[in-house]
Amino acid sequence: MSHEQSAEIPKLNGSSSRWLALVFALVMGLAAAPLHAQFTFVDEYEFNCATGGCYPSDNGQLTQGSDGNLYGTAPAGGTHAFGTTFTVTTSGAYTDQWAFDGLTGEQPDAALTLASDGNFYGTAAFGGTNNNGTLFRFTPPSTVTVLHSFTTAEGVPEAPPIQGKDGNLYGVTNSAVAYSVTLTGTYKQLSPAPGSVEAPLLLASDGNLYGTALTGGTNSDGAVFRMSTPGGAIKVIHNFTGIDGSRPVGPLAQASDGNLYGTTFAGGPNNNGEVFKMTLAGKITVLHTFDVNGVSDGEFPDAGLLAASDGYLYGVNGSGGADTVGTLFRITTSGIFTKLFDFTDVGGSVPGAYAGTTLMQHTNGNLYGLAYRGGASDNGTFFSLFAPNLIQILKVSGPIFVLPGGPVQILGNNLTHAIFVNFGSVQAQFQPGTDNYLTATVPNAAVDSVISVTYDTGLQTQTLMSVHILPKITNLDPPSGSVGTVVNITGGGFTGAKKVTFGGVAAENFTVLSPSLIQATVPTGAKTGRVKVATPNGSATSPMKFTVI
């Protein structure tokens, strides 16, 4: 099924351009023939418009909260029939939390983003002051605060905002209007994207945000773009040609090899979509072309890919397969493709249909997803998938760029049994929370690395990707001096420092003695002012001035 072919699917109130939803499925196995035996698929919950939210079409992924539950949105159902935010446990216990009422929004197509302040942020496609959608903060269990009401000129917000390394939220509408908003609600319009965007941006390991535009580009087949932060400058890094794909609707994922991975809804020799790999510079490699009839592997992938802990990428198709309602698949980073399951619509062994939301991996190791339709009421399903080689992981609440000395909430399982928390090889102080989260303090000596937890049983688990340490200056010693004075700059995140300035004048001589200490010589021409350090992860400015005497 495609955007263009969606007429046969009942549309929601004030329906937006994207109807496909989320689903999930996949896992891992070693041989092709007995794959099903290695996976356990569980139909955890079936949505029903008569009893709550329904037709889950989260553009993005389900989001794990600090309570271990999964959070998402449903664009229909609820008290006012305008959709809901909901939470569901890993065993399928479902609760609607906020029923949208028009003023706070209606038809939330987008997923929710968990930010570093512990709140969730999302968008609704309609409603608000201008009836053109809202950007809101959701504080569990049931508080919604509208931060911005979109205008017709700004377009419809189909995707949630994503937190950048500077702590602000960034997003793009389906009219290519890019924006930023602070966690306190200060909204700013940025440079336009190359085309319509329906998927959330990705905060990558280089500190930039990457996104897909399903329209626009030099060939009108869509594009991949980079957004720098702060500032929001946008640069197109790849224009799709149709041959290498067209209409990239889903979000990008970054795997441990540093490359970006994604799907295109159409394009390729069969015009049924493709799976691709891309470097951060924009060099693309097509990994898989979906079959001409869509039966053998599926077609029209509307979701992105999940880079899971077993090293595989997992995805869903919104159409094709044995029952023509979509498939679940996995693919290696080199392009070896395996169809895992065919969705079976309202019944059968794999209930669900028209999957269009990217899969997610819970910290318990299992995969979870949504289907837009299917189930007994044909109002959508929530399901889990277990595979023996998917291991427990840790996640960070908020962006993967963190400040030395600052708190970081770490999500996981059985964390009341944690005895050590490490940033790479550096041990961190931490405050126990619950089995599902703890709060650690970023060590000043930390460098870019994974976060690991050691349990009292000896078990260790870690984040899939490294966290990146932002630079921070805490002190200058001495605080004043003449040209030629050697100054100790203390703080953290100094690894790889590229430049040190005194009042805007670059120091010719400086040495990074440790991640938390730089020795710099006051340069000729230095002026009284703040000291600044630039690193690969960003820049830091001293809170105090250095006085040149």
Contact indicator for 189, 172 with CB cutoff of 8 Å: no
pLDDT tier at 294, thresholds 50, 70, 90:
confident
pLDDT at residue 39 greater than cutoff 90: no
Report the pLDDT value the prediction gives residue 37, as an integer from 0 to 100: 56
Q: How many CA atoms lie within 13 A of 277 on its CB side?
A: 16
Closest among 223, 108, 208 to 162, alpha carbons compared: 208
Report the pLDDT value the prediction gives residue 36, as an integer from 0 to 100: 55
Task: For the chain, give the mean pLDDT.
Answer: 92
Q: Summarize pLDDT for 222-238 with one digit per residue, the tens.
A: 999 999 988 899 999 99
Report the pLDDT value the prediction gives residue 308, as an integer from 0 to 100: 96
pLDDT tier at 5, thresholds 50, 70, 90:
very low
Contact indicator for 268, 346 with CB cutoff of 8 Å: no
Which residues have a Cβ under 8 Å from the Cβ of 458 and sit 6 or more positions away? Answer: none
User: Quick one: what percent of the chain has pLDDT higher than 70?
Assistant: 93
Beta strands in 10-83 (DSSP E): 40-46, 53-54, 63-64, 70-74, 76-77
Closest among 124, 119, 17, 42 to 78, alpha carbons compared: 124
C-alpha 242/C-alpha 274 separation (Å) is 10
Phi, psi for residue 517 in degrees, rounded to 5: -145, 130
CATH top-level class of 471-548: mainly beta
Phi-psi region of 344 (alpha: psi -120 to 50; beta: other; left: phi over 0): alpha
DSSP 8-state symbol, 171: E
Q: Summarize pLDDT for 112-126 with one digit per residue, the tens.
A: 999 999 999 999 999
C-alpha 496/C-alpha 448 separation (Å) is 11
Strand partners, 342: 327
Report the pLDDT value the prediction gives residue 257, as an integer from 0 to 100: 95
Measured between its terminal Cα atoms, the distance across the chain in Å is 72
Edge-to-edge, what's the strand order for the sheet holding 367-371? 40-46, 381-386, 367-371, 360-361
Beta strands in 173-222 (DSSP E): 178-181, 187-189, 202-203, 209-213
pTM higher than 0.85: yes
Cα–Cα separations (whole angstroms), residue 490 to 100, 441, 493, 519, 521: 49, 17, 10, 9, 14
Strand partners, 521: 486
Q: Which CATH architecture has domain 6-386?
A: 7 Propeller (2.130)
How far is residue 221 CA from its own chain's centroid?
A: 24
Exposed / middle / buried, residue 76 (Cβ in 10 Å: 0-12, 13-18, 19+):
buried
Report the pLDDT value the prediction gives residue 293, as an integer from 0 to 100: 85
Q: Which two tokens stand for residue 237?
A: 């890094």
Exposed / middle / buried, residue 231 (Cβ in 10 Å: 0-12, 13-18, 19+):
exposed
Closest among 336, 381, 388 to 354, alpha carbons compared: 381
Q: Summarize pLDDT for 238-270 with one digit per residue, the tens.
A: 999 999 999 999 999 999 999 999 999 999 999
Alpha helices for 385-463 (secondary structure H): none
pLDDT tier at 20, thresholds 50, 70, 90:
very low
Report the pLDDT value the prediction gives residue 24, as an integer from 0 to 100: 29
Read out DSSP for 219-274?
Answer: TSS-EEEEE-TTT--EEEEEE--SSS-B---SPPEE-TTS-EEEEESB-TTTTS-E
pLDDT tier at 317, thresholds 50, 70, 90:
very high
Q: Where are the domains of the chain?
A: 6-386, 395-468, 471-548
pLDDT at residue 9 greater than cutoff 70: no
Going 239 to 242 to 243 to 244, the CA torsion angle's sign is positive
Write down the residue that tokens 């053109």 correspond to.
132
Cα–Cα separations (whole angstroms), residue 153 to 132, 149, 196: 9, 12, 13
Q: Summarize pLDDT for 41-90 with one digit per residue, the tens.
A: 899 999 999 999 999 999 999 999 999 999 999 999 999 999 999 999 99
Exposed / middle / buried, residue 37 (Cβ in 10 Å: 0-12, 13-18, 19+):
exposed
Report the pLDDT value the prediction gives residue 35, as an integer from 0 to 100: 54
pLDDT at residue 17 greater than cutoff 50: no
Is it true that 6-386 and 471-548 share their CATH fold? no
The letter for the amino acid at 292 is: V
Report the pLDDT value the prediction gives residue 298, as an integer from 0 to 100: 95
C-alpha 274/C-alpha 298 separation (Å) is 11
Quote the CATH superfamily of domain 395-468: Immunoglobulins (2.60.40.10)
Contact indicator for 284, 274 with CB cutoff of 8 Å: no
